Amino acid sequence: MPRTLKNCHNFTDLKDLAKRRLPGPLYHYIDGAAEDETTYRRNTESFMDVDLVPNVLAGVENIDMSVEVMGYKIDLPIFCSPTALQRLFHHQGERGVALAAEKFNTLFGVSSLGTVKLKDIDDLIKTPKMFQFYFHKDRALNDSMITMAQEANFEILTLTVDTITGGNRERDLKTGFTTPPKLTPKSIFEFASKPAWALNYFFREKFELSQLSSHVNEGTNIAISVGDYFSTMLDQSMTWDDVIKLKENWGRKFCLKGIMSASDARKAVEMKADAIMISNHGGRQLDGGRSPFDQLDEILQEVGGEIEVILDGGIQRGTHVLKAMAMGATACSGGRMYLFGLAAAGQKGVEKALGNMKIEIERDMKLMGVKNLKDLKPHMLRKRQFLA
């Protein structure tokens, strides 16, 4: 395991350093997924079933890694997908991620279960911001969050649609993970074993779910698992009609996260969403579900060219990004991709994660013989053939 950030050359190194620095339940919350975690593993393994076919002698001294996502040009084809509870992993939390994303001029998302106020993020950075929205039973809370995001100048609203109930996250059940963390004999031992984390958590800014704390106590003052939060607090009666009304109320760029079927992608086009994120919530909801990369071509065959299609999940290497872009994705996004960096070293850890990814994408584009990501085409991919 690497002991310093300098020695973290890839995703796995950052993951190992995060494991050194986090109490066990928090590390396993980031790394864990639903049930047997087969979908979590498949999210990354799926990229191994497709090979890249490079061209050579293409004059690739200067390359362009930029893409346009929902009207905003970003300098990397991958951005920081919204993730919950970030100040549990490092005291800088969303502030550290926001500043790192701005440094690389890429998109940054804040979760409804975020731990920093949206206005604070608006005051901190000038690059585009995405607010990820959970549709709660409490309609007043929903309205409040929309107003907060509008007043904080968030340009994009992303509705997560695959959390109609909580996934069976068995690692969390085994470790007893909750937000905020419960103090038990077992957890006190875990916290004491990571004194730097414990000092930062207990003696810095009080932990809260900043967008929710004025409406509900769960997650800020009452400890609850994320799975239980989804199952009890979110509105299981939500339909496409609710989504259409939400989009109209928002009035700005609108994205749906958690689309996995071609038929749902078609509905997103019909309701005039600006983008969809193909995502299975990092394998944390339905175990046995298809991976986003496996499903990308089918969705592009249905709606490609009619709506922006973002691949979210499983990305650990620059070649993973290039494979998705060659297939026709607008851009890619990831959560664990930068969360382990955050846990390892705060803002500098996220910068290391994004920097490693940038270096890999630049090198791999040159090795593929492309100067612009638009030069990546499906004919540069080959699906491996497996004997039955």
Burial of 353 (0-12, 13-18, 19+ CB in 10 A): buried
Domain count, the chain: 1
Residue 66 lies in a domain: no
- Residues 6 or more apart from 172 whose CB is under 8 A from it? 25, 28, 29, 32, 225, 226, 227
Residue 133's pLDDT is 98
In 3-state terms, what secondary structure has residue 312?
A: strand
Pairwise CA distance, residues 34 & 193, whole Å: 27
**What is the pTM (predicted TM-score) of this model?**
0.96
The continuous run of DSSP H or E covering 334 comes out as: strand 331-334
pLDDT < 70 stretches in the chain:
1, 386-388
Alpha helices in the chain (DSSP H): 11-21, 24-31, 38-45, 86-89, 93-103, 118-124, 139-151, 170-175, 185-192, 195-203, 226-233, 240-250, 262-270, 292-303, 318-327, 336-368
Residue 131 CB partners (closer than 8 Å, separation 6+): 82, 109, 110, 112, 118, 145, 149, 152, 154, 156, 157, 158
Q: Would you tell me how many other CB atoms lie within 10 Å of the CB of residue 241?
A: 9
Does residue 59 fall inside a structural domain? no
CATH number of the domain enclosing 284: 3.20.20.70
Angstrom distance (rounded) from CA 90 to CA 343: 5
Residue 242 has a pLDDT of 96
56 domain residue, yes or no: no
Residue 312 domain flag: yes
Give per-residue pLDDT as tens, 240-280: 999 999 999 999 999 999 999 999 999 999 999 999 999 99
Instruction: Judge whether 368 lies within some domain.
Output: yes
Tell me whether residue 57 is in a domain.
Answer: no
Range of the domain at 154: 5-49+73-379
SS3 content of the chain, % helix, strand, coil (to 5): 45, 15, 40
pLDDT of residue 138: 95
Q: What pLDDT was estimated at residue 386?
A: 65
Distances (CA, A) of 60 to 270, 323, 356, 369, 375: 40, 18, 20, 6, 12
Q: Choose among 342, 94, 31, 343: nearest CA to 194.
A: 343
Q: 98 phi and psi, to 5 degrees?
A: -60, -45
User: What confidence tens digit (pLDDT) does each residue in 125-140 have?
Assistant: 999 999 999 999 999 9
pLDDT of 388 reads 54
For the CA atoms of 84, 115, 73, 246, what is the dihedral angle to 10 degrees?
A: 70
Torsion of CA 267, 271, 80, 195, to 10 degrees: -80
Note if 136 is an active site residue: no
Task: Identify the active-site residue in 90, 91, 136, 281.
Answer: 281
Both structure tokens of 162: 């695959």
Looking at the DSSP assignment, which residues form a beta bridge with residue 110? 131
User: Is residue 55 domain-resident?
Assistant: no
* Residue tagged 């991976």 (tokens): 291
Q: What is the pLDDT of residue 186?
A: 80
The number of beta carbons lying within 10 Å of the beta carbon of residue 221 is 12
pLDDT for 188 equals 86
387 assigned to some structural domain: no
